Amino acid sequence: MAETTVASKTVKFIVSRQDTPESKPYTEEFEIPYRPNMNVISGLMEIQRNPVKADGSKTSPVCWESNCLEEVCGACSMVINGKPRQACSALVDQLEQPIRLEPMRTFPVVRDLVINRERMFNALKKVKAWIPIDGTYDLGPGPRMAETKRQWAYELSKCMTCGVCLESCPNVNDRNSFIGPAAISQVRLFNAHPTGEMNKEERLEALMTDGGIEGCGNSQNCVRSCPKGIPLTTSIAAMNRDTTKHLFKKWLTN
Amino acid sequence: MKGNSYFSRKLHSLLGIIPLGGFILVHALTNYQAFERGPEGFANGVHTINSLPVLPVLEIFGIYLPLLFHGIYGLYVAYQSNSNTGRFKYGRNWAFTAQRITGVITFVFVFWHVYQTRIQVYLGNITHEELGSTMHTIASSPVMFVLYVIGVLSAVFHFSNGLWAFLVSWGITVGPRAQRISSYICMGVFVLVSALFILSLVAFSGDEFKEAANAALTWTNIG
Ligand code: SF4
Ligand code: FES
Q: Is B158 annotated as a binding residue?
A: yes
DSSP code, position B130: G
pLDDT of residue B223: 41
Residue type for position A114: V
DSSP code, position B51: T
Computed from CA positions of residues B96, B66, A205, A197, in that sequence, does the dihedral angle turn out positive or negative? negative
Main-chain dihedrals φ then ψ at residue A236, nearest 5 degrees: -65, -45
Which ligand lies nearest the alpha carbon of A86?
A: 2
What is the CA(A107)–ligand 2 centre distance, in A?
Answer: 17
Residues of B in contact with A236 (CB under 8 A): 168
Residue type for position A111: R
**Element holding B72 (H helix, E strand):** helix B65-79
pLDDT of residue B207: 84
Q: What is the pLDDT of residues A135-149, one digit of tens each?
A: 899 888 889 999 999
ipTM value, please give it: 0.91
Convert A165-204 to b/e letters by CB count within 10 Å (16 or more is b): bbbbbbbbbeebbbbbbbbbbbbbbbbbbeebbebbeebb
Name the minimum distance, in Å, from the CA of B153 to any CA of chain A. 21
Smallest Cβ–Cβ distance between B96 and the set A83, A170, A243 belongs to A170
- Whole-angstrom distance, CA of residue B68 vs CA of residue A97: 51
Strand partners, A109: A115
pLDDT of residue A113: 98
Are B204 and B139 a contacting pair, CB within 8 Å?
Answer: yes
Q: Which atom of ligand 2 is nearest to the CA of A87?
A: 4
What domains does chain A contain, in order, with CATH numbers?
10-115 (3.10.20.30), 118-253 (1.10.1060.10)
Name the minimum distance, in Å, from the CA of B72 to any CA of chain A. 17
Helix (H, G, I), strand (E, B) or coil at B19: coil
Beta-carbon contacts of residue B176 (< 8 Å; ≥ 6 apart): A231, A233, A234
Q: Which of A129, A93, A144, A160 lies closest to A239, judged by CA?
A: A129
Q: Which of B214, B77, B188, B45 lies closest to B133, judged by CA?
A: B214
Smallest Cβ–Cβ distance between A170 and the set B6, B83, B171 belongs to B83
Beta-carbon contacts of residue A155 (< 8 Å; ≥ 6 apart): A228, A229, A230, A231
Q: For A247, name the nearest residue in chain B, comparing CA atoms only.
A: B7
Which residue's alpha carbon is at the smallest distance from atom 8 of ligand 1? A162
Are B134 and B209 a contacting pair, CB within 8 Å?
Answer: no
In this structure, the number of other CB atoms found within 10 A of the CB of residue A213 comes to 28
Which residue's alpha carbon is at the smallest distance from atom 5 of ligand 1? A161
Give which of A81, A213, A214 to mutate to test B binding, by max B Cβ within 10 Å.
Answer: A214
- Whole-angstrom distance, CA of residue B94 vs CA of residue B96: 5
Residues found in chain A: 254
DSSP code, position B193: H
* CB-ligand 2 contact for A221 (6 Å cutoff): no
Q: What is the pLDDT of residues A10-42, one digit of tens each?
A: 999 999 999 999 999 999 999 999 999 999 999
Beta-carbon contacts of residue A12 (< 8 Å; ≥ 6 apart): A29, A30, A31, A54, A97, A98, A99
pLDDT of residue A133: 86
Report the mean per-residue pLDDT for chain B.
92
Considering its fold, how many domains does chain B have in total? 1
Which residue's alpha carbon is at the smallest distance from atom 3 of ligand 1? A226
What is the CA(A20)–ligand 1 centre distance, in A?
Answer: 27
Q: What domain range is B110 assigned to?
A: 2-222
pLDDT of residue A140: 86
Q: Chain A: which residues have CB within 8 Å of chain B?
A: 82-83, 168, 170-171, 173, 175-176, 205, 207-221, 224-225, 231, 233-234, 236-245, 247
- CATH number assigned to the domain comprising residue B75: 1.20.1300.10
Beta-carbon contacts of residue B152 (< 8 Å; ≥ 6 apart): B109, B194, B197, B198, B201
pLDDT less than 50: residues of chain A: 1
pLDDT of residue B214: 65
Which residue's alpha carbon is at the smallest distance from atom 1 of ligand 1? A182
pLDDT less than 70: residues of chain B: 1-3, 212-223
**Element holding B121 (H helix, E strand):** helix B120-123
Q: What is the DSSP string of chain A?
A: -HHHHHHH-EEEEEEEE-SSSSSPPEEEEEEEE--TT-BHHHHHHHHHHS-B-TTS-B-PPPP---SSSSSSS-TTEEEETTEEEESTT-BGGGS-SSEEEE--TTSPEEETTEE--HHHHHHHHHTT-S-----SS-----PPPPHHHHHHHHHHTT-----HHHHH-TT-STT-----HHHHHHHHHHHHSTTGGGGHHHHHHHHTSTTSGGG-----HHHHH-TT---HHHHHHHHHHHHHHHHHHHHHH-
Strand partners, A115: A109
pTM for the full model? 0.93
Are A67 and A75 a contacting pair, CB within 8 Å?
Answer: yes
